[in-house]
Amino acid sequence: MLTDKTAVVTGSTSGIGLAIAQQLAAQGANVVLNGFGDADEIEKLRVNIELQNDVKAYYINADLSQPDSTRQLIQQAVQLTGRIDILVNNAGIQHTDRIENFPTERWDMIMALNLSAVFHATAEVLPHMQKHGWGRIVNIASAHGLVASEFKSAYVAAKHGVVGLSKVTALENAGSGITCNAVCPGWVRTPLVEAQIEALAKKNNTDIETAAKALLAEKQPSLQFVTPQQLGNAVVFLCSDAAEQMTGTTLTLDGGWTAR
């Protein structure tokens, strides 16, 4: 489906981002990985994607909390591959606290990585997509881009911003062959969520699996975690011909969270 397309996926050395990159590669797309981690492990991931899917896979190390570094990621990807057809803005971090106690530096970092990096990568990639008359920008937002939860002021604000930015990007490029949509997952059992489960287990003096069930019961009516692979397939769909007229919208995979 995506043969000869090139995709950049931020935050793709583990978790959701890696699953998205793997699913895009499975459909024939060349992929550019980005993220932190052990260099040898990242190289193994890169090589495995190439061997398993007969595509080209690259890795670019960039600190997406810095605007110049984010834009350089896109520039380097174009230099390496010749073009970018798909951009998946996935990288993100989390911190929980009451607003009056929220550390300023954590607020600034969450805004920089979860929202500003999406803007800078999008702004840098759009001229390349416009030149070719085709592009897919998929922003990984969250159920928290649609509704709020206590203690997550920065994350909720940033993810609401991502949804709004996705709509503006879609409107400015409507009819050009370029679409922009936001995917809004519920609970996915990533290391970021695992830390919240561990904190809940400690707070309630329970084991990890009991805490995981309690976390799901609080928000996600299906009582099942969304899988990274399901999110990868959702991104593939948004890059397909079937989604050609889907732009400026949100695709929720949240087990019923936002239906309430």
Residue 123, φ and ψ in degrees, nearest 5: -60, -35
For 23, 47, 242, the CA distances from 31, given in Å and listed in that order, are: 10, 11, 21
106-136 confidence digits (pLDDT tens): 999 999 999 999 999 999 999 999 999 999 9
Mean pLDDT computed over every residue of the chain:
97
Give this prediction's pTM. Answer: 0.96
What would the mean pLDDT of 253-258 be, rounded to a whole number? 98
User: Under a CB-based contact definition with an 8 Å cutoff, are residues 164 and 148 in contact?
Assistant: no
Q: What is the DSSP string of 80-149?
A: HHS---EEEE-------B-GGG--HHHHHHHHIIIIIHHHHHHHHHHHHHHHHT-EEEEEE--GGGTS--
Fill in the DSSP letter of residue 26: H
Residue 190, pLDDT above cutoff 90: no
Instruction: Give 6-187+226-255's CATH code, choosing from 3.40.50.720, 3.30.70.80, 3.40.640.10, 3.40.50.300.
Output: 3.40.50.720
The whole-angstrom separation of Cα 214 and Cα 21 is: 31
61-117 pLDDT, tens per residue? 999 999 999 999 999 999 999 999 999 999 999 999 999 999 999 999 999 999 999
Which tens digits make up the pLDDT trace of 195-220? 889 999 999 999 999 999 999 999 99
Domain ranges of the chain: 6-187+226-255, 189-225
> How far from 234 is each of 77, 92, 196, 201, CA to CA, in Å?
23, 19, 25, 31
Q: What type of residue is 159? A: K
Query: From its phi and psi, is residue 28 left (phi > 0), alpha (psi between -120 and 50) or beta?
Result: left
Is 59 an annotated catalytic residue? no
The per-residue pLDDT for 191 is 82
Could you give the CA distance from residue 21 to residue 58 in angstroms, rounded to a whole number?
11
Q: Which of 155, 187, 225, 257 is catalytic?
A: 155
Mean pLDDT on 31-40: 96
For the cut 90, the answer to whether the pLDDT of residue 38 exceeds it is yes
Given a cut of 90, whether residue 192 has pLDDT beyond it is: no
